[in-house]
Amino acid sequence: MNIIQMPALMLGQMIKNREISAVEAAQAYLAQIEAKEKSLHGFVTVDRDGALARARAAQQAIEDGTLTGPLAGVPCAVKDNIMTEGLLTTCGSRMLNSFVPAFSAEAVHRLEKAGAVILGKTNMDEFAMGSTSETSAYGPVRNPWNTDHVPGGSSGGSAAAAASCECAFALGSDTGGSIRQPSGFCGVTGLKPTYGTVSRYGLVAYASSLDQIGPVARNVPDCAAVLEAIASYDAKDSTSMKRDAYDFTESLRDDVQDLRIGIPSDYLEGGKDGVTGLSDDVRKAVLSAAETLKERGARVEEFQLNYVRYAVPAYYIIADAEASSNLARYDGTKYGYRTGSYDDLHSLYKRTRSEGFGAEVKRRIMLGSFVLSSGYYDAYYLKALKVKALIKKAFDDAFSRYDVILAPSAPTTAPRLGESLSDPLAMYLSDIYTVSANLAGLPGICLPCGFDSKGLPIGLQMLGDCFMEKKIIRAAYTFEKSRGPIDYSRCSREEAAS
């Protein structure tokens, strides 16, 4: 098997066994990036010299016994809204086009401690605001299965890079589905942990009560291993949670005999309760996956999940309100972009923000400022918080009966480039299956469960109760074993992207 097509854990084991060196692995992935980037644009920054230096250091540490973990020497990538010391971090925005952090995010620090070799920073929707990875100031990312289509967002660069074998795995961030939805569109596996499981220290904030860092990889075991490496309590993050155990790889068992799996009937009824546009291909693939799990011994049944139609409006009110506050710091006085022409402090702020932010970011800042303004705070923002509590209660009731909730990751497969940007409301509605997990702080995993009639991947989403990552990992692993491996060679070949 080609180095770049190996799962991360297999590659790590071969590096540990001295069959491949960390430097050889880094060189192979860097060559793949060079071959693919013209057509995919999955990276904003590629740190070739730094990656090779880190690979040499990792190899030395492996040889002298300092590094013994499963990810030592394995090349990876980091979403461009996660701080990396000394390495450009732009958030896909002109506003931070020259920002080089003085420190690394805690998740990055833990990856480096595990010996992973960071190759560069992946492209994304600007400030993580988007569902297609087209709002980046540095140009759109393209789907490696068909470059006329989007990879999803906002972690589209991470998902596309993993699918096209430009890295063994990547870190993404998930505010309303930004790991799971692009993983579904790109046919890879993405895991959003329970809120507070992975430190948000060093993650550039979009909506602080919803954001969470997680892994994107080509299979379930790799995602579990990466989550095990980056999850920890961190006193630097006030929302970080202390957990009893972080041994997520122990749940990699091909067994669902005792699992109760629920499928929200609301999610499968297109046009009802605000869930619109569910394609027949996606519905059939999800129901087929449910049947597979049933055949393996799980108890599977449909149920009614209340308040689904309120999830998207509640999410966008809360997320945009928090975004309007978090993005107020970008004013041209401290760091990042500053306008070249201004008369006074007010015009400095106004012109810097007008020139530095893209259209989608401005739209969400204005919406957020509106719902927080006097006269509308009670009518919109407080009401959205009440709906958030009702959604959490609905999930609590569901998880009293089920261990795992099964759903699509998106109503359709990846749309064509340009389709979503012309209709922002339709783009927002495409998040219907993912935003609820963020509102309730739940863990979720997405993995491929088939292809549509156009040959584009279909994503299957599994949600668990808070801190129940092990159950969704076990269910996902069992399905993955039944489904068989995905052939990523078509995505990784240069001619596939032409």
Taking only the tens place, the pLDDT of each residue in 443-457 is 999 999 999 999 999
Counting every residue written for the chain, the total comes to 498
Range in 271-285, 296-310, 389-403 the model is least confident about: 271-285
Q: Provide the CATH number for the domain around residue 169.
A: 3.90.1300.10
φ, ψ of residue 332 in degrees (nearest 5): 85, 5
- Three-state DSSP at 452 gives coil
Q: Which two tokens mark 417?
A: 């480039």
- Judge whether 178 and 155 are in contact, CB under 8 Å: yes
Q: Is residue 309 part of a domain?
A: no
Q: Lowest mean pLDDT: which of 207-221, 296-310, 482-496?
A: 482-496
Domain count, the chain: 1
What residues are labeled active site? 79, 154, 178
Q: Is residue 272 part of a domain?
A: no
Q: Quick one: angle between helices 22-40 and 156-163, nearest 10?
A: 120
Cα–Cα distances in angstroms (integers) from residue 205 to residues 31, 105, 185, 267, 346, in the given order: 32, 12, 24, 30, 24
Task: Specify if 8 maps to a domain.
Answer: yes
pLDDT score for 97: 95
User: Average of pLDDT values for 245-269?
Assistant: 94
* 8 A C-beta contact, residue 301 and residue 263: yes
The pLDDT value given to residue 494? 62
Query: What SS3 class is residue 78?
Result: strand
Q: What is the largest CA-CA distance in the chain?
A: 70
Q: How many CA atoms lie within 13 A of 61 on its CB side?
A: 20
Could you tell me if residue 448 is inside a domain? no
pTM: 0.96
Report if residue 222 sits inside a domain. yes
7 has pLDDT over 50: yes
For residue 26, pLDDT over 60 is answered with yes
Q: Is position 88 within any domain?
A: yes
Residue 207 pLDDT > 60:
yes
User: Residue 314: inside a domain, yes or no?
Assistant: no
Q: Residue with structure tokens 């998880």?
A: 399
The three-class DSSP label of residue 98 is coil
Specify the pLDDT at position 271: 46
Of residues 427 and 339, more confidently modeled: 339
Question: What CA–CA distance (Å, rounded) separates 124 from 79?
Answer: 7
166 confidence band (pLDDT: 50, 70, 90): very high
SS3 42: coil
Q: Can you tell me which residue has the tokens 């063994």?
A: 168
Domain span at residue 35?
3-256+466-497
- Please give the pLDDT value at position 270: 57
**Is the pLDDT assigned to residue 275 strictly greater than 70?**
no
Look at residue 276 in the predicted model and tell me its pLDDT. Answer: 55
* Position 327 pLDDT exceeds 70: yes
- The per-residue pLDDT for range 280-312, each reduced to its tens digit, is 999 999 999 999 999 999 999 999 998 888 999
Please name which of 32, 71, 26, 72 lies closest in space to residue 49, comparing C-alpha atoms: 26
As to burial, measured by CB atoms within 10 angstroms (0-12 exposed, 13-18 middle, 19+ buried), residue 49 is exposed
Q: Are 75 and 27 in contact (CB under 8 A)?
A: no
pLDDT above 80 for 273: no
pLDDT at 428: 84
* Percent of the chain topping pLDDT 90: 92
- Classify residue 360: in a domain, yes or no: no
pLDDT higher than 80, residue 314: yes
